[in-house]
Chain A
Amino acid sequence: MARRQALLECAFLIPIRRDRNLSDGRLHRTDAWTWLREGLFQFRGATEAKELYTGWYVDADTEKRVADLSRKYYVALPRGEIGRLRSLLRQACHVFRQKSIYLSIAGRVEFIEGTLQ
């Protein structure tokens, strides 16, 4: 019997609004979510958490506390595919107008930043 590849749980948060400092703080356009779903569809599976997540962080540029509301996604990936997810999230920073995106890989947290701002 073939051994299944070990999978790592990757979870990331996408705020439901554009970054107020970087952009205009408005809700995302429907086509931004369409883009993300299409990107995630290329992986073998993904799950969206039913509830929204409330959080806050201190904006490094303004030093002000920013509250946000996010959708949370889970994707189980073999280690070798995590680079693809990071790449998708780098693009997501632009599509969703975020300075960075919170990504947790098997409990280890990193902040993915877009390449252009």
Chain B
Amino acid sequence: MTRNDKYTDLEGREVSLTGLDEAERKLVSLLRRRAATHPNWTDFDNFWTKAVADFYDARGLTRKQSSNTAVFRIAQDLSSRLAVRSGMARLPDYRDELEELIRSRFRTRRAFCKATGLSEDLLSHVLAGRKHLSLPTLSTALERIGYRLRISPLPGKKKTA
């Protein structure tokens, strides 16, 4: 896939552009230009939601169908980039991932703590942002439940050698 055939979002996921027709590609270009030239987050949100809705409404798509398109996902991502750049939102960090893991696999913090060996008190402080877990503690806890830490590229940042 060439650079022009894909869009990489803030979290490094690729959105394929190969299925887009000419008009959709033009709309993506318009949205990218708009985000670059009018970086106000709210302005951009008001702009893209109307532009994408008008575009797909005219094609007879339901809003549900429109929101599943690559164009919609790209517009959402451009908006997220502006939100982060303006200091109004943040990317998920390891605490968010822990919360997600607890919710999806353990349902309760108590069950998670029992499985990982972490104390409920410590976990509560960590999730509330008052304390951090050391790398060895986090690694050991995750290993007990079949997970591991890994280093991944920071979204939206150029990698240097």
Contacts and interface: CB of A to CB of B under 8 A. Distances in A.
Interface of A: 16, 23-34, 37-38, 40-43, 45-50, 71
B76 A71 contact: no
B150 interface: no
A38 B45 CA distance: 11
B33 interface: no
Contacts of A31: 80, 92
A50 B79 contact: no
A41 B49 contact: yes
Interface of B: 10, 40, 42-43, 45-46, 49-50, 53, 63-64, 66-67, 72, 76, 79-80, 83-84, 87-92, 96, 127-129
Given A41-B53, A49-B42, A30 B64 contact: no
A40 B50 CA distance: 12
Contact of A38 (B50, B76, B80, B88): B76
A31 B155 CA distance: 14
